[in-house]
Structure 1
């Protein structure tokens, strides 16, 4: 079962390894997300870890947790100054930042000397989607799963 504090520390690690990201937070639900995004400025990216949900599988002797979570990469935008071309530029930029996050996830997963939870990543579980207008923010959502010990 992926521990919240381990995940929270990893979200901070992502912020420290991707230059465009200046804020890192871990949240539970839309209410917390909205409150944090209200304070976000339009010149920086925020990385948000969504606290994982857990689904146990196996039996008493071999119980595992399928942990499902998301990482959001968001930047506040000012719509009044934005035409469609600027919107596409913003999404393109956000996609580049999201790709850096995915690259970090994969590199950490593949690093045999690394012993934290990301080594339990299920690589084919990635589902990466653009986000438009979430509390005045655009960006990307990176969904993925891990199989961890209970």
Structure 2
């Protein structure tokens, strides 16, 4: 199963904003909504294609209420998320799954479960991701991004 995680903007209750709007509520109606991280909404879809389609259906709301849209596709990585743009490129065949691990956005994860400012990484050191050093955090969440998203 492919997962989609929507990360809400600061000061926005993402779940409330989405379920209070008819079109978004209808798009999410068949999914079991859960909160992977604080102020996020995570659902399981049947494929990478359905994950990208869901993000496209919700785009109007995501632009207004979300800071990030992530996709966890097991055929690419069991633990590292893909950015929305990279997930779409993989789905469309423009990027090979095995080449997606170069550019990374690494979020810090606080003890409260909130994702905090990302650190951008252009390469792994001996196959490892450099230590997150922007602040003290409990863990990290790794997101693979497309080259044109890197650092921006």
Scaled by the length of structure 2, the TM-score of the pair is 0.31
Greater C-alpha Rg: 1
Name the structure, 1 or 2, with higher relative contact order (CA <8 Å, separation 6+).
1
Give TM-score scaled by structure 1 length. Answer: 0.32
Indicate the structure with greater strand content.
Answer: 1
Which of the two has greater helix per residue?
1
